[in-house]
Structure 1
C-alpha cells in the first residue's frame, strides 16, 4: 500500500502569480486559491502517475516479494530506506548492497529475503522513497501551464463544486499533460 508521508513543501505556482493570472487583487480568497491549486496538482499527478514536486512516500507490503516492486508515483529520485520485519520483532534496515533498484519514472526495488529468520516468519517490508522535482523551475513549462489552467478552471467553476456536480477537466489540460503520461504494458 502506498502512503504519502510528506507532501510537497511548496506549490508550483506562487500565489501572487496565480492571483495575477486570474486578475485577483484582493487577499480574501488566498485560502481558496491555495486549495484549488493543491487540487489541480493532485489531479494532474494522479493522471500522470508521477510526482511533480519533491515529496516522500512509503510502500508497505505484507507478503514476501517474489520480484521487483514498482514504485509509484513516478519520477523517483531516491530510495531513503528499506525495512523488513519478521514476526513481532523490531524492523531492521537492509544494507544498501542488499537492495537492487532503478530510479526515475519506471522505478522499482528488488530485495531477496528469506521467508524465515530464526523462528520468526516474514511479516512486512516498508520502502521509503522520494519522488518529484526539487523545485518548480525544474518542471516542464507545459506542465506548469496545465496547473495554471486547471487551477483557473476550478476557481471559475467553484459554484458547481458546491452543488456536488461533476466538473470535467478541460481538454486543453489533457492535451498539455498527454505527452507525460506513462504507458504501461
Structure 2
C-alpha cells in the first residue's frame, strides 16, 4: 500500500503570524519577512510530524492511495483519518489500462480513527492480477488553521518552536518529541490491535 499527498497544505493555511508571536520575534522593522521561508519550513515539518504520530490529516487536502490486493474485500480500512470523501476508485490492469468504478459500487464509512471503504454489495470488486486499485480521497480535520482543535494547533506550534530553538543541535536522538507536545496529541493517537493486545 502506498499513500501519496497530492496537494500540499497551502502556505496561506499555515499560522505564520501567530507562530512569529509565539516565538516573540520583533515586528515593525523593514526585515519582518526575512525569516518567513524558514519559519514556514518549521511549521510544515511540525505539521508532518504531528500527522505522522497521530495518523490524522489536519488540514483538508487530496490524497491518493494505491493497493495491490485487498486485505478484506468486505471493507478496506483507509490509512488516514478523518476522510471527508472518496472521490474516485479506479482499477489498473497489469498492462496499464485503467477503469474508473461507478461510485454506486462503494461508499465511505466515516470514522475519526478508522474510516472504511465498503462495497455497496457484499464484496469490493477484485483487483486485476498484476494490477492495482487507486483510491482518490480528501482527508483532513479542517479547511483552515482556525478550524483545528486547539490542542492540535498548539502541539504544532510548540513542536515548530522546538525545531526553531534547536535548529543547530544535531545531538538529539531519533524520535525526540517534547513532553508537552506528546501530551497534547495523545488522545488523537489511534490504538492498534495486535496479537498481544493493544499497541
TM-score with structure 1 setting the length? 0.86
Instruction: After TM superposition, list the pairs within 5 Å mapping 1:26-45 onto structure 2.
Output: 26-45=32-51
Unaligned runs of 5+ in 1: none
SS at the partner of 2:45? helix
Q: CA–CA distance in 2 between the matches of 1:172 and 1:64?
A: 38
Q: Give the length in aligned residue pairs.
A: 179
Q: 2:59 aligns with which of 38, 45, 53?
A: 53
1:145 aligns with 2:154: yes
Name the Cα RMSD after superposition.
2.1
What does residue 69 of structure 2 align with?
63
Unaligned runs of 5+ in 2: 27-31, 194-199
Q: Against the structure 1 CA distance between its residues 147 and 12, is the aligned structure 2 distance closer, same or farther, given a 3 Å change threshold?
A: farther
Residue by residue over 1:108-135, the C-alpha shift from the partner in whole angstroms, topping out at 9 and shown as x without a partner, is: 213422466xxxx562110000100212
What does residue 186 of structure 2 align with?
178
Q: CA–CA distance in 2 between the matches of 1:107 and 1:11?
A: 28
SS at the partner of 2:52? helix
1:130 aligns with 2:138: yes
Contact preservation (8 Å) 1:77, 1:104: no
1:23 aligns with 2:24: yes
Q: Against the structure 1 CA distance between its residues 65 and 48, is the aligned structure 2 distance closer, same or farther, given a 3 Å change threshold?
A: closer
Contact preservation (8 Å) 2:9, 2:61: yes
Q: 2:90 aligns with which of 83, 95, 106?
A: 83
SS at the partner of 2:168? helix
Deviation at 1:164, TM superposition (A): 6.0
SS at the partner of 1:6? coil
What does residue 169 of structure 1 align with?
177
What does residue 113 of structure 1 align with?
125
Deviation at 1:65, TM superposition (A): 5.5
Q: 1:94 aligns with which of 88, 101, 104?
A: 101
TM-score with structure 2 setting the length? 0.81
SS at the partner of 1:38? helix
Q: CA–CA distance in 2 between the matches of 1:115 and 1:82?
A: 11
